């Protein structure tokens, strides 16, 4: 998404909000719980120190979604060179999938990514191992496909692609 004008938010259900939090244990827990069904594996072996180094950086914003007071999902936004923000991780907790929250949560996260007026691009990686509706959700909010790759290198997984 190269312009805030491309952003197409969806209507928010009552009781959905996101909060910015700085807690490495929270990042680790959400990574495991949200990513369990989507082949997120590259950070599973991280030590508490690695989680601290990652999560406490000034460039990273961790957003936790709550629906009617319950944790619903999380996202990690990383500020990068060139006035870009990468949506590094995004997803709902397993018990929140199927409640119609994905598009609304993504809208709140993208809104946060564009909150700084100097941002010129918001981007992400996705793959066929993500939720079947992930790509449609991203495109529905205004993201466009930049590059498509096929094939899977040995040892490669979807989560490793996200962190390149």
Q: What is the CATH number of domain 4-162?
A: 3.40.630.30
User: Rounded to whole angstroms, what are the CA distances from 108 to 25, 37, 82?
Assistant: 23, 23, 23
- 94 contacts: CB under 8 Å, gap ≥ 6: 33, 34, 36, 37
pLDDT of residue 85: 95
For the record, the structure tokens of 33 come out as 């719980």
pTM for the structure as a whole: 0.86
pLDDT of residue 151: 58
Domain limits, the chain: 4-162
Core vs surface per residue 113-130: b (16+ CB within 10 A) or e: beeeeebeebbbbbbeeb
Contact in structure between 74 and 50 (CB atoms under 8 Å): no
- 30 contacts: CB under 8 Å, gap ≥ 6: 64, 73, 74, 93
pLDDT of residue 129: 67
Contact in structure between 38 and 156 (CB atoms under 8 Å): no
**Low-confidence spans in the chain with pLDDT less than 50:** 154-157, 159-164
pLDDT of residue 162: 43
pLDDT of residue 105: 95
pLDDT of residue 152: 55
């Amino acid at each position: 998404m190269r312009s805030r004008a491309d952003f197409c938010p969806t209507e928010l259900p009552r009781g959905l909000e996101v909060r910015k939090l700085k807690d490495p244990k929270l990042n680790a827990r959400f990574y495991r719980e949200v990513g369990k069904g989507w082949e997120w594996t590259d950070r599973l072996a991280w030590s508490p120190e690695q989680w601290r180094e990652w999560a406490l950086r000034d460039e990273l914003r961790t957003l936790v979604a709550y629906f009617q007071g319950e944790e619903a999902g999380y996202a990690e936004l990383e500020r990068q060179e060139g006035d870009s923000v990468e949506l590094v991780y995004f997803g709902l907790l397993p018990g929140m999938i199927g409640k119609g929250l994905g598009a609304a949560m993504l809208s709140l996260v993208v809104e946060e990514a564009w909150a700084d007026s100097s941002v010129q691009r918001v981007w992400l990686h996705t793959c066929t191992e993500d939720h079947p509706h992930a790509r449609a959700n991203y495109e529905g909010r205004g993201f466009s496909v930049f590059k498509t790759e096929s094939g899977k290198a040995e040892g490669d997984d979807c989560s490793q692609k996200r962190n390149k």
